[in-house]
Structure formats: structure tokens, C-alpha cells
Chains A and B, each alone.
Chain A
Amino acid sequence: MRILKALRGFVERAWLVALVFVLWEVVTRAVNETYFPPPTRIAQALHELWFSGPASSLFLTENATDDFSTSLTHLFIGWGAAGAAGVVLGAAIGRSQVLYDMASPVLEFLRAVPPPTLLPFFIIVFQLGSTMQIVTIAFGVVWPVLLNTCDGVRTVESLQLETARVFGVGRFRRLVTIILPGAAPKIFAGLRVALSFALILMVISELFGSTAGIGSELLGAQRSFELPRMWAGIVMLGILGFVFNAVFMLLERRLLAWHIGAQRLAT
């Protein structure tokens, strides 16, 4: 009974996805379309490019280890640095009304600058290469984390802070055990947005010229007009985006179980 129900749920969700894929496959094969190759050919290109390696290296090709490690290193260094800086600065600014009032117009402006507009500037200052890519990512994604942390820290329940004060919880301990956990749901939301922005900026910075990375693979495929390979790159980036989001949500659900539980009861 239960299996049947789960199966039904799956069919209800997946039928449209399946239909779209089948239609895409049939139509593109029938008209022999160049720009939108059939899904099976994209999958094949994806396999050849990155996943046809020996079992000893988890089926990853040499190409894959090169591309993925380059891209992901940049992504996570940039995101991690921005995340750490955003939380620290955001907490400091959010705790002080004066600092917040002074900083918020500047911060709102900096957040509004679309990060790619600074790419030419960073290329001039740092030259093409890893530093430029990491700086682009970090500078582009620090604002959502910073502003969300500010907001979270400012909106911590005042009664919780009063309770902590009454029971003599010291300043530092108050920050670590009351303020940061109370702000955590908003901080995590900021980090999640930042991660998806970081992926976008990783792609853009690689499209500008790089020798390794998924973006450079995309660019190479475009220049040699190999459309299935280019689509493989697009799909791979989609998979990464999907996986990042899923892993982050899982982490969030574990770490913020209290928040989700408390929310569910509140509504």
C-alpha cells in the first residue's frame, strides 16, 4: 500500500518532466536539430567529457578532476571567505544601532552593484587568473550574507536577550549562545543565496578567459562549435547548482531543526 502510494506520488511529480524529455528527444531527432541536440546525445557528451574515467578515480576523467577541482576551489574559497567576513562584520554592525544607521546606505548600495560590472576592474587590478576569480566571487556574494546577518542579529527576540541578561550570561557568551543561534535562520538564508550567486559568478569569471574549469570547457566547445559538449557543460552546471542547493538544504534542516520544529508548531 505504502509503496503504491509513494509510486503514485512520484508519477504525479515526474510525468511532465518525462514528457518534456521524450518530446525534446523525438522532435530534435526528427528534424535533426543542431542547436538543441537530443538529451541522449547531451548525456553521451557529458559522459565522454567527464565521467568515462577509470573506476579507480570514481569514473572521473582526468579532464573532470582538472575542471572540477579548479572551478570548485575558486567557488568555495570565495564563498567561504565572503561567508566568514559577512557573518563577522554583519554581527558587529547589527549589534550597534549607530554603526547600523551609518553603514546601511553604503551596504545597500554595494549590494545593488551587479557583481559582473566589477569584472573588468578586477581583471585590470589582479590580471586574469585565480585571484581575480576568487575576488570576483567573494566581493559579489558577501553582501547578502552581511545584510542578512545584520538583519538577523537586530531582530533577535528582545525577551531572549533580557532573559540572558537577567541570568548573568556574559557579553561574549550572549553573542555565541543567544544572538548568533537566534540569527542563524537568516544567516543561513543569506549563505544559501550567496552560494547560488557564487556559482553564477564562477561561470562568468571563467567565461572571461581561463584555462581550466567548467566555464572554460563551455567556451572551448562554443568556439569549436561542438554543441553537445556545450550542452554538457550547461547541464553539468545545472547539476552542480542542484547538488549544492540540496546539500545546503539538508545541512540547514539538520542544524536548524529547532527552528523548523518551532515554526511548524507556531503556524
Chain B
Amino acid sequence: MLQITGLTHSYGGDGLKVLDGLDLTVPDGQLVSIVGPSGCGKSTLLRCIAGLIQPTGGRLTLDGRPINGVPDDLAVVFQDYSRSLFPWLSVRDNVALPLRRRGKSRSERRAAAEEALESVGLHDAGRKYPWQLSGGMQQRVSIARALAYRPSLLLMDEPFGSVDAQTREDLEDLVLQVHRTEKMTILLVTHDIDESVYVGDRVVVLNRSPARVHADLPVGLPSVRDQIDTRGLPEFVQLRAEVGRLVRGGARVPGAAPVGAQPAGVAEAKGAGAKPAP
């Protein structure tokens, strides 16, 4: 379980404050979408959770242990695949590199890499170099790299921000499929409202910078989702409108909970209930 209390961060000593007393609790196995206006500090939040930056205030714990430095079983998929993949390594070696930390032999690492590549639909790209693949395929490689690492918490920082619309839908479904089969906790940061509702078990809306949690909505959509059908559901349309309004700074209207929202398992989890912004 990931617990964030009073997370505050400002860059350069007393400079720009980007996070201001943010509270968030994510139970194991949940897929949480985090949306907010661009430049609101979503990426800073992820970097704090990943232990890449030390926040100036607040507490972060993962399974009860405070986060200092990069946690052991956490992986990140960055938006900019072209800069987070290593162009001098083949696709397979890119995926296999982090597995050194898992104490595996060379052949085990290779096998695990091939398996992960297969699971994202890249059976025969292992020997190629990342830059020989299309953007969408490169992002699949970064997802495969994260999967092969078998983290319990997967952070995705606008993972589909740099791919075309069709690829984006394919990758969204890939994330859903991974979530179903691997049962890992996923935090997906996005600025796409549609995507946040389609992918998430729960949507957390952040305010304009300095960021705190503006609203926290459960998504009551059936767990098996489909690009055409799901997006056509009235619940989807309504929730999307609600999130859209919140992102633009609107206040949460009490009682306007998504029509037909099922009290899904996720909604019972602590901190996942819809509550007005403080």
C-alpha cells in the first residue's frame, strides 16, 4: 500500500512550490489515474514516489516503509521513450538490463526479457535497436522493461503522450490487460481526461499548481473494458464530463456521483471514496 501524507515540494530551496500538502492512499492492486491541468506537478509527484527527488515536506510510505531513495520493487514508464530507452543497447538488452539487480544469470535475464517482450506483442524485435522501431513499439519496449522487472508498483508518467491516437488506444488496452494479469498497483499520470476514466479504477484530480488532491472519484465501469463499448456507456460519458469540469477548476457537486456507479471492490478501499476537495 502506498501512503502519501502532506506531501510538499518546492524547487530550488524556497523557489517555486509545486506540491502543497498532498494526501493520497493507494491500496494494493489498484489502477489509479492521476489527472490535472498541465504543469500542475503531476510529474513531480511521480518523481517523489519513485524516490528520484527528495520532497521538501510530508511523508511517503510504501508498504509501511518510508521512501528514501528508489524503492526496490518499483518501475517507471516515462513519456519520452526515446530518451529513457538506451539507444546503444538492443531492445532485448534494454529490457534485460534492470534484471541484474534481481540476481539472475545472463540466460535467465534474456529469457525473462523475451517473455516480457512477447507479452507486449513484440516477439521478434529483441535483436533490433530501439530507434529502429516506431514510437508506439518503443513505448511497448519500455512497458516490457517495467514488466520484466516484476514491480509491485508501476508508475507511468504520461506514457502515451507521444504516440498517435490509434497506438494510444492499443497501449491503453495493453495496460489494462497487464493490470488484470499481473495484479500490480499502477499509478498512471495523464492529462487526457478520457484516458483517465477509461483506464482507471479510480480517478484522482489535482489542482492547478501548487498541487493537492482536488477530487477523488471511483470509476464504476465494468472491469473488462472495450474502446468502443465502454466509451459509449452513459456512466463513462457522465464521469468524463465530471472529471473534465473538475480539471478546469470546478468544485465537486456533492451528490452528483456517477449515475449507475457500481460499488465496486475498489470503492470500498480506504481513501478511494469520492469526497469533496478540502
Contacts and interface: CB of A to CB of B under 8 A. Distances in A.
A262 interface: yes
Interface in B139-160: 145, 149
A167 interface: yes
Interface in B235-253: none
Given A159-B84, A177-B97, A262-B87, A166 B132 contact: no
Interface in B44-89: 47, 50, 52, 70, 72, 74-76, 78, 80, 83-84, 86-89
Contact of A169 (B84, B100, B132): B100
Nearest to A162: B52
B70 A178 contact: no
Contacts of A155: none
Contacts of B149: 167
A169 B72 contact: no
A184 B88 CA distance: 10
Contacts of B70: 165-166, 168
A168 B131 CA distance: 24
A1 B128 CA distance: 33
Interface residues of A, number: 23
Contacts of A114: none
A159 B101 CA distance: 19
A169 B101 contact: yes
B52 A167 contact: no
A259 B87 contact: yes
Interface string A16-36: 000000000000000000000
A225 B72 CA distance: 75
B84 A163 contact: yes
Contacts of A98: none
B98 interface: yes
A105 interface: no
Contact of B84 (A160, A173, A261, A262): A160
Nearest to A265: B131
14 contacts: A162-B50, A162-B52, A163-B78, A165-B52, A166-B70, A166-B76, A167-B101, A167-B149, A168-B98, A169-B100, A170-B101, A184-B88, A261-B129, A262-B131
Contacts of B87: 258-259, 261-262
Interface in A215-267: 258-259, 261-262, 265
B40 to A, nearest CB: 20
Interface in A154-210: 157, 159-160, 162-170, 173, 177-178, 181-182, 184
Most buried by B among A160, A163, A166, A170: A166
A119 B232 CA distance: 81
Contact of B100 (A157, A162, A166, A173): A173
Interface in B97-144: 97-98, 100-101, 129, 131-132
Contacts of A261: 87, 129, 131-132
Contacts of A177: 86, 89, 97
A167 B145 contact: yes
Interface in A131-171: 157, 159-160, 162-170
B158 to A, nearest CB: 13
Given A178-B86, A184-B88, A265-B131, A166 B74 contact: yes
A113 B156 CA distance: 51
A159 B80 contact: yes
Contacts of A166: 50, 52, 70, 74-76
Nearest to A163: B84
Nearest to A257: B129
Contacts of B84: 159-160, 162-163
B88 A259 contact: yes
B88 A181 contact: yes
Nearest to B72: A168
A62 B251 CA distance: 92
Most buried by B among A164, A168, A184, A259: A168
A213 to B, nearest CB: 39
A170 B70 CA distance: 11
A162 B98 CA distance: 12
Contacts of A173: 100
Contacts of B145: 167
A167 B101 CA distance: 8
A258 B130 CA distance: 9
**Nearest 6 CB-CB pairings of A with B:** A167-B98, A168-B101, A262-B131, A159-B83, A181-B88, A262-B87
Contacts of B97: 164, 167, 169, 177
A153 to B, nearest CB: 15
Interface string A70-92: 00000000000000000000000
Contacts of B83: 157, 159-160
B30 to A, nearest CB: 20
A177 B80 CA distance: 20
